[in-house]
Amino acid sequence: MGGGKKHIDRSDFLKGRLEGALSDEPMKMFSSWYQEASEKNCADPHAMIISTVDDGKPSSRIVYMRNLMEEGFVFYTNYESRKGTQIMSNPHVSALFYWDCAERQVRVEGKVEKVDPQLSDDYFNGRPRISQIGAWASNQSSRIESREELEERVAHFEKKFPDIVPRPPHWGGFILIPEYVEFWQGRLGRLHDRICFEKKEKNNWDIFRIAP
């Protein structure tokens, strides 16, 4: 890059404030924040960045939270994908929700488990047919020679399943069960509010504030 230094425009945070914890349980507080983000029409409020670790090297990608349960956050994927194999090798992951319209973030750290197969079946059966076929056609994260190769596999499974498309055995849901949750509210002068929940034992959380 040539020329002089270029500075990225700064903007301050003026859309909200957070005076202490709003709930004694993080999932209740998350549900409230998520509902507010949805009502404010934040872009993709269910999008979350999932970070996994393999051999000490982090890897991140955006996935969609498809179920919000009392126990945690559910998302679906190919179990044989890069994220799937990394999770099976090391179930400790982190997740990040960011809602620009509310100047809020939620950081989650915890362990991931497979959901009950019936939950995966129910979700898969409600997907559009092309997405169901895609779950069979795509060997997610593996190398392919061309787009044509992928489209040929789609055509193959379209013929194989002319009516009902069953859920592939390698595809299903994971649930992220939180052990640490941080609620971040942007504030003026970068003096942000950060309220944290750290699990001590089942249904017992240490709640504290940390400096911005």
117: nearest Cα among 175, 51, 178, 52? 175
Tally of CB atoms within 10 A around 143: 5
137: nearest Cα among 170, 174, 173? 170
User: Active-site residue among 17, 61, 129, 190?
Assistant: 190
Residue 194 bears catalytic tag: no
| Residue 1 Cα distances to 5, 95, 132, angstroms | 9, 33, 45
| Residue 153 Cα distances to 127, 148, 161, 167, angstroms | 19, 9, 12, 16
Q: Are 160 and 154 in contact (CB under 8 A)?
A: no
Structure letter (DSSP) for residue 186: -
Unique residue bearing structure tokens 């994908």: 81
Residues in Cβ contact with 201 at an 8 Å cutoff, skipping those fewer than 6 apart: none
Enzyme catalytic residues: 190
